[in-house]
Amino acid sequence: MPVTIKSNSEINKMRLAGKVVAKTFEHIRKNIRPAVTTEYLDKLADEFIKSQNALPSFKNYRGYPASICVSINQEVIHGIPSKRKLCDGDIVSIDLGAILNGYHGDAARTFIVGKTSPENEKLVAVTQQSFFEGIKFAKAGCHLFDISAAIQDFVEANGFSVVKDYVGHGIGTQMHEAPEIPNYRQNRRGIKLESGMTLAIEPMVNIGTDKIILQSDGWTVITADNSYAAHYENTILITDSEPEILTATDF
């Protein structure tokens, strides 16, 4: 499938969908604290997305049973909400998507519950910053895999590893569109970026090995060495200058 270039009216719809995702994070954020179940966070997000006249895009996506993914500690991505309670010191990655008027927004954040170790704090900060290092190359005229290389270089310079088995993606009328966006160096620079492309850039970073294991629930991905992992994602718009972060949050 070719990479789609969004028209101005499509871009406006992407902005509105991205805004719903951002506002959902802002809405659930204060509830991310010890003793809260991940199921409760899912319910809050689900209800909020619907209150915005949008729909949670993850629900039933390839049979996924919830509206958000909640991945705690050594869980990398796609953790299923449950009766599990958050604990002080946990790091919890929340990934969520919304569809509004036929267009998708998709983003992830990793939150610290209460107080955690300096190493976990560094992991969360490096993961977020790796996204921003990557998008320094997210502009018309640059090449897609310049983003990938910048993410990997920053993460590895900080002593962590990037997950190779899952990638970012184009996004628009589908949650997953072309192109695939790996978070590590490729042997070519990839397609030339053009104004009007909308991309979900999503580094997944492990403290230890980059190897991951799929749990028997068919969804939850954990690190092979049980080291902790973090995830950070935004939907962005390529422009002739700085990218526009369509899912930007106020935190």
Question: Which residues here bind ligand MF3, judged by CB under 6 A?
Answer: 58, 61-62, 64, 69, 78, 95, 97, 106, 200, 202
* Residues within window 180-219 making contact with Co ion, judged by CB under 5 A: 200, 202
- Is 117:151 a contact under the CB 8 Å cutoff? no
Closest residue by Cα to residue 96 from 250, 249, 244, 251: 249
CB closer to ligand MF3 out of 47 and 88:
47
Mark out the alpha helices in the chain (DSSP H runs): 8-28, 38-51, 118-134, 144-157
Rounded Cα gap, residues 12 and 94, in angstroms: 25
Other Cβ atoms less than 10 A from the Cβ of 110: the count is 24
Tokens standing for residue 14 = 């992407």
Q: Tell the smallest beta-carbon distance from residue 93 to Co ion (Å).
A: 12
Determine the distance from the C-alpha atom of residue 190 to the mean position of all C-alpha atoms in its chain, rounded to a whole number: 21
**Which is it for strands 244-245 and 234-237: parallel, antiparallel or unpaired?**
antiparallel
CB closer to ligand MF3 out of 47 and 119:
47
Q: Tell the smallest beta-carbon distance from residue 91 to ligand MF3 (Å).
A: 18
Binds 177: which of Co ion, ligand MF3, none (CB < 5-8 Å by kind): none
Binds 97: which of Co ion, ligand MF3, none (CB < 5-8 Å by kind): ligand MF3
CB closer to ligand MF3 out of 10 and 106:
106
CB closer to ligand MF3 out of 108 and 155:
108
Rounded Cα gap, residues 30 and 149, in angstroms: 34
Q: Tell the smallest beta-carbon distance from residue 105 to ligand MF3 (Å).
A: 10
Other Cβ atoms less than 10 A from the Cβ of 190: the count is 18
* Residues within window 96-115 making contact with Co ion, judged by CB under 5 A: 106
CB closer to ligand MF3 out of 116 and 128:
128
Does residue 46 belong to the site contacting Co ion (CB under 5 A)? no
Does residue 146 belong to the site contacting Co ion (CB under 5 A)? no
Binds 61: which of Co ion, ligand MF3, none (CB < 5-8 Å by kind): ligand MF3
CB closer to Co ion out of 21 and 157:
21
- Is 72:79 a contact under the CB 8 Å cutoff? yes
Rounded Cα gap, residues 76 and 229, in angstroms: 5
Q: Tell the smallest beta-carbon distance from residue 10 to ligand MF3 (Å).
A: 19
**CA quadruple 120, 89, 231, 63: dihedral sign:** positive
Q: Tell the smallest beta-carbon distance from residue 217 to ligand MF3 (Å).
A: 12
CB closer to ligand MF3 out of 136 and 176:
176
Rounded Cα gap, residues 164 and 200, in angstroms: 16
The footprint of Co ion (CB under 5 A) covers 106, 200, 202
